[in-house]
Amino acid sequence: MKRFLPLLAVAALIAVPAASAGKAAVPTLTPGTLVVAFGDPAPGFAQGTVRGNTVTNPRGYEVDLASAIAKKLGLKVKWMYSPWNSLFAPGTKKFDISFQEATITAQRKRTVDFTSSYLNANQGVLISKQTTAPKSLADLKKLQTCAQTNTTGLDWIKTQLHPAKAPLTFPGTAAAYQAVQINKCQALILDVPLVSLEKKQNPTKFGPVAGQVVTHEQYGAVLQKGSKLLATVNSTMKGLIADGTVGKLQKKWFNLDFSKIPALK
């Protein structure tokens, strides 16, 4: 028996490190913490107090979804602000993941990575109180349209609608909504969920969401190009969809039937 003791000792030495290694660490910028970035406040999606680059007391669908992902991964969460206009710029990101109702497109995927989709959306038409609701795309072409810069809504206006007047553009949603309130912009073209929830929160400031344009867009969270975190987040997201968490969060924060908004043709 003595001649086998050295082999058993070696086996024990090998086994101890393997057992103590445990689960591999999640590859976040800060060990044990998921840095989540949001953009301009969006009712139902993410609203909080923005001071400089920090966001405090955020709430909304994307906030709860990010929290659920972090919990599944055993991570703490740090919230931060990141402006929309720099979201798709190449280079190093200061966040692990950003939720900004960003539509997944081939062009954007050249500079950033996207998670799998967490919401489907079309483009919506929010009009001012002084504007007669368009019944068709032909009617919409006659109005003064506007959109946020670097959005699929602005792309659609330029490449598909071809309105009589050049669209007004704004760097953020707050300025765009303000333009609609004062009738500087008669029709804002922006994602249906965004304009619908803005109208729901501020019902007296705008006319109706007069219609939607079917574009079959999908929202994905944004990560730095080549992020090692992507596969882990996608796997976690898939689990949250399968167990009903995502559906429950959408019902909790939206409680609107976007399909009832008429499609403009």
pLDDT tens for the 265 residues of the chain, in order:
333 334 333 333 334 443 334 467 999 999 999 999 999 999 999 999 999 999 999 999 999 999 999 999 999 999 999 999 999 999 999 999 999 999 999 999 999 999 999 999 999 999 999 999 999 999 999 999 999 999 999 999 999 999 999 999 999 999 999 999 999 999 999 999 999 999 999 999 999 999 999 999 999 999 999 999 999 999 999 999 999 999 999 999 999 999 999 999 9
Please report, rounded to a whole number, the percentage of residues in the chain having pLDDT higher than 70: 91
| Contact call for residues 147 and 169 (beta carbons, < 8 A) | yes
Helix 245-253 to helix 230-242 angle (10° resolution) is: 80
Name which of 65, 105, 58 is nearest 79 in CA terms: 58
For residues 4 and 30, what is the distance between their CA atoms, to the nearest angstrom?
46
What integer pLDDT is reported at residue 23 of this predicted model?
Answer: 60
For residues 99 and 117, what is the distance between their CA atoms, to the nearest angstrom?
11
Annotate 122-152 with three-state secondary structure: EEEEEECCCCCCCCCHHHHHCCCEEEECCCH
Give 111's DSSP letter. T
Each residue of 178-211: pLDDT tens digit? 999 999 999 999 999 999 999 999 999 999 999 9
Each residue of 115-143: pLDDT tens digit? 999 999 999 999 999 999 999 999 999 99
Tokens of residue 204, six digits? 């007296």
- Pairing relation of β-strands 168-170 and 145-148? parallel
pTM to 2 decimals?
A: 0.88
What single string gives the DSSP state of each residue in 6-74? HHHHHHHHHHHHHHHH-SPPP--SBTTEEEEEE-S-BTTTBEEEEETTEEEEEESHHHHHHHHHHHHHT
